[in-house]
Amino acid sequence: MTSTTLVAPLFEGPLDIVGDVHGELDVLRALLERLGYDEAGEHPDRRRLVFVGDLCDRGHDSPGVIELVRGLVEREHAQCILGNHELNLLRRDAKHGNHWYLDPAHAEQQGEFKHSKPAPADHTWHEFFLSLPLALERADLRVVHAAWHPPSIELARAARQTSVELFEHHERKMLELLEQSGIEDAATAEKRTHASALTDESTPVPLLSNVGRKDELLQMGNPVRVLTSGPERVTDRPFFANGKWRMCDRVRWWDEYTDDTPVVVGHYWRAADHEEEDDDASLSGGKPNLFADARPHAWVGARRNVYCVDFSIGGRYRERSRGATSFKTRLAAARWPERLLIFDDGVTCAMTP
Residue 136, domain member (yes or no)? yes
pLDDT of residue 1: 43
DSSP characters over 207-248: --HHHHHHHHHHHHT-HHHHHHH--EEEEEEEEEETTEEEEE
Q: What is the mean pLDDT of residues 138-145?
A: 98
Kindly report the backbone phi and psi dihedral angles of residue 98, in degrees, each rounded to the nearest multiple of 5, phi listed first.
-115, 15
Q: Which residues contact 169 (CB under 8 A, 6 or more apart)?
A: 161
Specify the pLDDT at position 36: 97
| Cα dihedral across residues 264, 269, 272, 274: positive or negative | negative
Q: pLDDT value at position 241?
A: 83
pLDDT at res. 201: 92
Amino acid at 305: N
Dist. CA 119–CA 101, nearest whole Å: 5
pLDDT-derived band at 243, boundaries 50, 70, 90:
confident
User: Which one of 250, 273, 302 terminates a domain?
Assistant: 250
pLDDT of residue 151: 97
Among residues 218, 250, 282, the one where a domain terminates is 250
Query: Are 211 and 311 part of one and the same domain?
Result: no
Between the alpha carbon of residue 144 and those of residues 22, 253, 339, the distances in Å are 17, 13, 17
Residue 212 pLDDT > 80: yes
Looking at 98-112, 200-214, 247-261, which range is the least confident one?
Answer: 98-112
C-alpha to C-alpha distance for 302 and 294, rounded to whole angstroms: 12
* 290 and 179 in a common domain: no
pLDDT over threshold 70, residue 235:
yes
Same domain, 169 and 315: no
3-state helix, strand, coil in the chain (%, to 5): 35, 20, 50
CA 131 vs CA 70, 93, 222, 238: distances in Å: 10, 19, 19, 36
Total of domains in the chain: 2
Please indicate, yes or no, whether residues 122 and 265 belong to a single structural domain of this protein: yes
Asked whether residue 25 falls in the same domain as residue 138, the answer is yes
* Residue 232, beta-bridge partner list: 250
Q: How far apart are CA 135 and CA 148, in angstroms?
A: 8
Q: What is the mean pLDDT of residues 2-16?
A: 88
Predicted local confidence at residue 283, as pLDDT: 54
Instruction: Indicate if 243 and 212 belong to the same structural domain.
Output: yes
Residue at 4 is within a domain: no
Q: Is the domain of 139 the same as that of 220? A: no
Whether 36 and 142 map to the same domain: the answer is: yes
CATH of the domain at 315: 3.60.21.10
92 and 220 fall within a common domain: no
* Residue 50 sits in the same domain as residue 70: yes
Q: Any idea what the Cα angle at residue 74 is, between residues 70 and 76, rounded to 5°? A: 115
Q: Name the percent of the chain lying above pLDDT 90.
A: 83
Give tens-digit pLDDT for 298-319. Answer: 999 999 999 999 999 999 999 9
Give every strand in the sheet of 332-336, ordered side by side: 78-80, 48-51, 15-18, 332-336, 340-343, 348-350
Last residue of a domain, one of 227, 250, 273: 250
The pLDDT of 248-269, averaged and rounded, is 95
Q: Is residue 7, in this structure, part of any structural domain at all?
A: no
Q: Is residue 3 part of a domain?
A: no
Which of 165, 146, 145, 140 is CA-nearest to residue 155? 165
Q: How confident is the model over 146-186, as pLDDT tens digits?
A: 999 999 999 999 999 999 999 999 999 999 999 999 999 99
- Average pLDDT (328-344) is 97
Amino acid letter, 320: R
Task: With respect to residue 5, please indicate whether it lies within any of the assigned structural domains.
Answer: no
Domain presence at residue 49: yes
Residue 107 has pLDDT above 80, yes or no: no
**Least confidently predicted of 45-54, 108-117, 135-144:** 108-117
> CA 78 to CA 66: how far, in whole Å?
13
Same domain assignment for residues 233 and 278: no
Domain-embedded: residue 167: yes
Please indicate, yes or no, if residue 2 is contained in any of the structural domains.
no
Can you give the residue range of the structural domain that contains 286?
A: 13-148+257-350
Render 51-110 in DSSP notation, one character per residue.
E-S---SSSS-HHHHHHHHHHHHHTTSEEE---HHHHHHHTT---TT-HHHH-TTSGGGG
What pLDDT does residue 4 have? 60
Report the candidate in 342, 110, 150 with the shortest Cα–Cα distance to residue 263. 150
Computed on alpha carbons and rounded to an integer, the radius of gyration of the chain in Å comes to 20
- CA dist 124 and 67 (Å) reads 10
Helical residues (DSSP H) of the chain, grouped into ranges: 25-35, 62-74, 84-90, 99-102, 126-131, 150-158, 163-181, 183-193, 209-220, 223-229, 316-321
The predicted model gives 231-259 an average pLDDT of 92
118 & 136 share domain: yes
